[in-house]
Amino acid sequence: MRSCEYVKVQGTQKTKLLTVQNIRFFIGNCQIKHSDPSLSSADCVSITFERVIKNDVITQYRSGDRILCPVKVWAAIIRRISSYPGSSASDSVNLFHFTDGKKHFFTGTELLKRICQAATTLGPDSLGFTAKEIGLHSAHSGAAMAM
């Protein structure tokens, strides 16, 4: 995924920010509701990327991995957003509610800051690069390589 698909970034984008309604889960050929208790056990998750020219649907299958399973990750995101008072299918996937009830939309700037903090903590000797060499494209590439 491009960073503009899951966090708010500056500049013009070719893809809209993903919303809850862009994420669909399936068991067999049957779509299941976001409220279904077996959401994280679905066979696959399909993500609709709304692009300027056409929409793309990417399907990712349950991997069984404890941390990197796309079905489990997306189910957790959908459950988190759905737990917020007044949540709706049009809520973007970067929405968070603070304990005081205020809405917050995670941005690309915040994501990059956190990635750089992690890189600084781990250090260049461990990673082979410094925090200054990281951009949001790094998250895109790094996640793909981790999977």
* Dist CA 44 CA 122 (whole Å): 33
- Return the ∠ at Cα 44 (arms to 39 and 46), rounded to 5°: 100
Residue 133 has pLDDT above 80, yes or no: yes
Kindly calculate the radius of gyration of the chain based on its CA atoms and give it in whole angstroms.
Answer: 16
Q: 8-59: per-residue pLDDT in tens?
A: 555 565 667 889 999 999 999 999 999 999 999 999 999 998 876 778 888 9
- The counts of H helices and E strands in the chain are 4, 6
Give the model's pLDDT for residue 6.
Answer: 53
Whole-number average pLDDT of the chain: 82
The answer to whether 8 touches 108, Cβ cutoff 8 Å, is: yes
Amino acid found at 1:
M
The predicted model scores a pTM of 0.74
What is the largest distance, in Å, between two alpha-carbon atoms of the chain? Answer: 48
Say if residue 5's pLDDT is above 80: no
What confidence score (pLDDT) does residue 4 get? 43
What is the domain partition of the chain in residue ranges?
3-94, 107-147
